[in-house]
Amino acid sequence: MYFLGLSVIVAEFAGRLDLARSQYTFSVVTMGGAGGSSALRQLDGILKKKHGNGLDAGFIVKMPGNYILKNGSPAGTKRERILSAADEQLKRIGVDVKSATKTALPYSLFAQLIHGVFYPRFTSGVHQDDRWFSVSNACTSCGTCRAICPVGNIDLVDGRPVWKHNCELCCGCIHICPTGAIQAGKKTEGRTRYINPDVKVADLQAQRGNSQ
């Protein structure tokens, strides 16, 4: 969930999905705060518009928040608790999905209203939000930020990242920099970074076909 809805790249992807032969369509939304229903309903709406049918089931999983422009990520035991609760919940979701259980999508009038007002505002200029990004002298030119960017939005120029204004604001480059050299504006300095312990940087690089 990004800005009480789908991240822009996921919304576009959902619009291209071909579900003509799908028997059962479900979604798992990860979010860092509360809510999630508005993101599921946005996805349901995109699918219905294209196929007539929407989601058969929708699930919401709380994960450590990664929107570092607003808050640092939880650390220590708080992070551990969130991750173990998510693992337990995923087991239960797995059971429902295996049996193709249909569920009513969660609904919150409040989330729908906030989504309606803020989602278009936040997402309309999202690709240019990297204009706030900067890199400090702590940069060691390792190239990891460039290698893991899901949309190839980073070049290295003279060994330092340059952002090309096609950003999805996933915040991955900020979190993954091993020296904490990437900031967004003035507020991210000192905020806790987070990388999911099951995610290996080398795997991300391989998936994205990038090398350092």
Ligand X SMILES: Cc1cc2nc3c(=O)[nH]c(=O)nc-3n(C[C@H](O)[C@H](O)[C@H](O)COP(=O)(O)O)c2cc1C
Where on the chain is the footprint of ligand X (CB under 6 A)? 1-4, 30-33, 35, 63, 65-67, 169-171
Question: How far apart, in whole angstroms, are the C-alpha atoms of residue 38 and residue 21?
Answer: 26
| Contact with ligand SF4 (CB under 6 A) among 14, 60, 111, 182 | 182
Binding status of residue 153 toward ligand SF4 by CB under 6 A: yes
Backbone angles phi, psi at 113, to 5 degrees: -65, -45
Binding status of residue 128 toward ligand SF4 by CB under 6 A: no
Which partner from the list ligand SF4, ligand X, none does 4 bind, CB cut-off 5 to 8 Å by kind?
Answer: ligand X
Judged by CB under 6 A, the number of residues near ligand SF4 is 27
Binding status of residue 126 toward ligand SF4 by CB under 6 A: no
Token digits of residue 46: 């995109």
Rounded to a whole number of angstroms, the minimum distance from the CB of residue 32 to ligand SF4 is 15
The smaller minimum CB distance to ligand X, of residues 146 and 175, is found at 175
Alpha helices in the chain (DSSP H): 8-16, 37-51, 76-98, 109-124, 144-148, 172-176, 201-207
Backbone angles phi, psi at 19, to 5 degrees: -110, 20
- SS3 of residue 201 by DSSP: helix
Question: How far apart, in whole angstroms, are the C-alpha atoms of residue 124 and residue 31?
Answer: 20
- Point out which residues bind ligand SF4 (CB under 6 A): 130, 135, 139-145, 149-151, 153-154, 161, 163, 167-173, 177, 179, 181-182
